[in-house]
Amino acid sequence: MQAHQNDMRYFEEQKQKRERAKEENKLFLKIQMEEAKLRKEHEEKYLKEKTRTHFGPENDEFINDFTKKREQQNKAFMENTLRGQIHENVNRKNTRKEIDRREDLLMLAKAGEVMIGENEESAIKDQGRKEVFKRVWLEQIDVKNQEK
């Protein structure tokens, strides 16, 4: 029993050591990844700075004006694109509504034709029943007249 408890403690200690080692490795790898990222950013900045030219305040104004114009053009392009998409969506919705409306009208017209046909059939049946009842009534009158 004592040996079993000692084994269990040993295994728990080993498990805790492995967990701590994993955590330390994760932390170490995270630090290395951040350092690599910072090193890469620093190299990119260094290369950009190396190739950058500066010709004084006039150049700064030109660059600022150029970037403003480009941003305005991009903004105008995006607005036109979005307006076009909105217009297309509205047209598509209106077309779909028109198609649905026409389909509904066709279905109503077909239903109306069916109902008219059914009404005509029932009118013909009613007329036939009336004629049958009239004939039977006339026959009964003839039979009564013959009995007299």
- Encode 55-88 in three state secondary structure: CCHHHHHHHHHHHHHHHHHHHHHHHHHHHHHHHH
d(CA 132, CA 57): 111
- Over residues 12-55, the pLDDT tens digits come to 999 999 999 999 999 999 999 999 999 999 998 888 776 766 66
Judge if 40 and 80 occupy the same domain.
no
- Whether residue 89 sits in one domain with residue 27: no
- At 36 the pLDDT is 94
- Tell me, what amino acid is at 137? W
Say if 64 falls within a structural domain: no
115 and 82 part of one domain: yes
Maximum Cα–Cα distance for the chain, whole Å?
136
In a domain, 102, yes or no: yes
The first and second tokens of residue 64, run together, are 């600022």
Alpha-carbon span 101 to 104, nearest angstrom: 5
In a domain, 67, yes or no: no
Shared-domain flag, residues 80 and 126 = yes
In the structure encoding, which two tokens stand for residue 63, read together? 């660059």
**d(Cα 15, Cα 23) in Å, to the nearest integer?**
12
39 plus 4 within the same structural domain: yes
Instruction: Show the domain range for 132.
Output: 75-148
Please count the structural domains in the chain: 2
Whole-angstrom Cα distance, residue 122 to residue 113? Answer: 14
Residue 57 lies in a domain: no
- Tell whether 7 is covered by a domain: yes
Please choose, from the candidates 69, 68, 90, the residue with its C-alpha nearest in 3D space to the C-alpha of residue 82.
90
Q: What is the pLDDT of residues 74-111, one digit of tens each?
A: 999 999 999 999 999 999 999 999 999 999 999 998 98
* Position 66 in a domain: no
Span 121-142, pLDDT tens digits? 888 888 888 888 888 898 888 8
Q: What are phi and psi of 130, to 5 degrees?
A: -60, -40
Determine, yes or no, domain membership for 68: no
In a shared domain, residues 89 and 28: no
**Is 61 within the bounds of a domain?**
no
The pLDDT value recorded for residue 87 is: 95
